[in-house]
Structures are given as structure tokens and as C-alpha cells.
């Protein structure tokens, strides 16, 4: 059986230096040896320390973290003086411990008294996994709530929807997030989308409309590449008078796919717009959809 120590140091000013971490691991190994814990022939093969490495990097993505799994075999053990020297979060611990468990390699944290080679250690590792899932669920809920609030208040949440652009786009070194920027009408895109709608309603295919609009894009110096499907999406946005929501989001809200030729050629767009307005108001959107 081989026992390897693992350490990490992100700056030169930390009190938990590599030497301190190694001494703690060696003392623990010697104590366990005197207590008769190790099988015959067990050896401490040294300390594997990653220096000047941020905790944001997962353990198995670090140089010595990767090296560890190449020198250890099934039944071997990794020991860290402190939990936060190995992992940055419960999620990182869950992923790494699961991969090590598949390889038959166990892990011990001296500060938490957790050793995954024991029943109690496995229990504590399971609790870490539960905590990890709870962390992910909380982050997911927070993200969804934030996105919903931004949509309701007319802010961009990713790429702006058809017919809109982000007001005062973020400059190179500006810290303000684009996701919180306001949307303003994009005249070029609206003209393009309206032309797409006219062509498709006249019976032109997506390919035919794409070829016709190629000249328009060149005149307007529109550098973005528009696919045949994006022309249909643009026409759908024009049909709904350019809602401040993506075609996908509008489709989900209405329960119908608006990004189709059939929808673009329908004659009840006024009623669909009114229905969309009502559904979004019910969902807490307190701003007019169009300007």
C-alpha cells in the first residue's frame, strides 16, 4: 500500500506552507503506523504539492493532482492536511472523490478527520455530496430568478432578441455586465426582419429569401451571417412586432413554435400578439413588449 501526501499553496504569504502541510501529513502517517493501522509493507511515498495554483482549479486539473493518479494504484491513499488545500468546494470534492473511488484510491483530510477508506469516512463523503447538490440547486434557483427578473424588466439576458440591440455596449475594460444593459430598437435588423416576413408571406422559400436579402445585408454593411432559419426567426419576430423576448422564449410561453414558415404565413398575428402580452403580464412582466 502506498500513502501519498497532497498539498497546495496559492501564494508565498500563506501560513499553511508546503513544509507545514508535509510535516502534518508525515506526523499523521507515523502515528497511524505506530497504531498498527497500515498493512505490512505500507510506505509513505512523499508529498505532491502544487505551488502558485488557485483553488479555482479542480484538483485533477492541477499538475501534481494529475501526477498522483498515475503513481497510485487501487487500495492506495491520498492524504491532505486541510480540506481547502485539496478542494475549492463540495462540488469539486464530489466529482474528484467519485473518480478516485472508481480507481479504488481513497482520500483522507486531517482537519475534518475524514478517511474514505473507513465506513465513517464514506458517510462523511456522502454528506459532502449532498451538500454539493444543495449548492448547485441554490445556484440554479438564484440564476433562474435573476434571469426572470431581467426579462421582466426589459434587460438583455444573453444575445438581444430580433429587432433589438444592447444600449451602450460594454467597452473593453468596463466592468458593467452586458446582461443588465437595456435594450433599444435596432432599425437595421427590424428592416431586415420585416423584409424577411414580406418575402416569406409572398411564398418565397427560405433559400430564395436568403438570396434576395444578401444584397440588403451588403448595402447595410451587416456583418453577421444569417442562416435560412434565422430569416424565419426574424420574420416571426416581425410578425409579433418585435417582442423583447427570444423566439424560443416566446414559443415556450405561447405553447406553439413561432419559428416556422407556417406561423409566419398565418393571418392571426394580432390575436397572437395580444395573447402573448397577456401571458407575460400574468407572469410578472411589467413593461410593454414593444416600443
- Percent helix, strand, coil in the chain (nearest 5)? 50, 10, 35
Q: According to CATH, where is 3.40.50.1390 located in the chain?
A: 2-125
Name, in order, each residue with C-beta under 8 angstroms of 147's C-beta and a sequence gap of 6 or more: 157
pLDDT at 111 exceeding the cut of 70: yes
Residue 153: predicted pLDDT: 59
CATH of domain 2-125: 3.40.50.1390
* Between 285 and 34, residue with greater pLDDT: 34
- Outline where DSSP puts E strands in the chain: 2-9, 43-51, 77-80, 106-109, 114-115, 164-166, 183-185
- Say if strands 2-9 and 77-80 run parallel, antiparallel, or are unpaired: parallel
* 60, three cell numbers: 485533477
Query: Which residue from 157, 135, 137 is spatially nearest to 146, judged by alpha carbons?
Result: 157
pLDDT at 67 exceeding the cut of 80: yes
Indicate the SS3 state at residue 216. Answer: helix
Query: Which residue from 87, 127, 77 is spatially nearest to 111, judged by alpha carbons?
Result: 87
Residue 55: predicted pLDDT: 66
pLDDT at 178 exceeding the cut of 50: no
Reported confidence tier of residue 202, pLDDT bands at 50, 70, 90: very high
pLDDT at 117 exceeding the cut of 90: no
Amino acid at each position: 500500500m502506498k500513502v501519498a501526501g497532497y498539498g497546495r499553496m496559492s501564494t508565498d504569504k500563506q501560513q499553511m506552507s508546503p513544509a507545514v502541510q508535509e510535516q502534518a501529513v508525515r506526523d499523521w502517517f507515523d502515528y497511524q503506523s505506530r497504531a498498527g493501522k497500515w498493512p505490512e509493507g505500507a510506505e509513505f511515498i512523499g508529498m505532491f504539492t502544487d505551488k502558485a495554483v488557485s483553488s479555482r482549479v479542480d484538483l485533477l486539473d492541477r499538475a501534481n493532482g494529475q501526477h498522483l493518479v498515475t503513481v497510485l494504484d487501487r487500495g492506495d491513499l491520498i492524504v491532505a492536511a486541510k480540506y481547502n488545500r485539496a478542494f475549492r468546494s463540495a462540488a469539486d470534492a464530489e466529482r474528484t472523490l467519485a473518480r478516485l473511488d472508481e480507481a479504488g484510491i481513497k482520500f483522507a483530510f486531517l482537519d475534518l478527520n475524514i478517511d474514505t477508506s473507513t465506513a465513517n469516512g464514506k458517510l462523511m463523503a456522502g454528506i459532502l455530496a449532498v451538500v454539493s447538490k444543495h449548492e448547485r440547486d441554490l445556484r440554479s434557483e438564484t440564476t433562474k430568478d435573476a434571469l426572470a427578473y431581467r426579462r421582466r424588466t426589459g434587460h438583455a439576458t444573453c444575445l438581444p432578441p430580433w429587432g433589438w440591440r444592447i444600449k451602450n455596449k460594454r467597452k473593453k475594460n468596463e466592468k458593467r455586465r452586458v446582461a443588465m444593459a437595456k435594450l433599444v430598437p435596432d432599425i437595421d435588423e427590424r428592416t431586415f426582419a420585416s423584409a424577411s416576413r414580406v418575402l416569406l408571406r409572398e411564398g418565397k422559400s427560405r433559400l430564395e429569401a436568403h438570396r434576395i436579402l444578401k444584397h440588403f445585408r451588403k448595402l447595410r454593411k451587416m456583418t453577421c451571417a444569417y442562416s435560412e432559419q434565422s430569416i424565419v426567426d426574424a420574420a416571426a419576430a416581425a410578425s409579433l412586432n418585435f417582442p423583447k423576448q427570444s423566439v424560443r422564449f416566446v414559443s415556450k410561453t405561447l405553447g406553439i413554435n413561432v419559428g416556422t414558415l407556417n406561423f409566419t404565413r398565418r393571418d392571426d398575428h394580432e390575436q397572437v400578439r395580444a395573447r402573448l402580452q397577456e401571458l407575460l403580464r400574468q407572469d410578472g412582466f411589467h413593461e410593454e413588449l414593444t416600443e
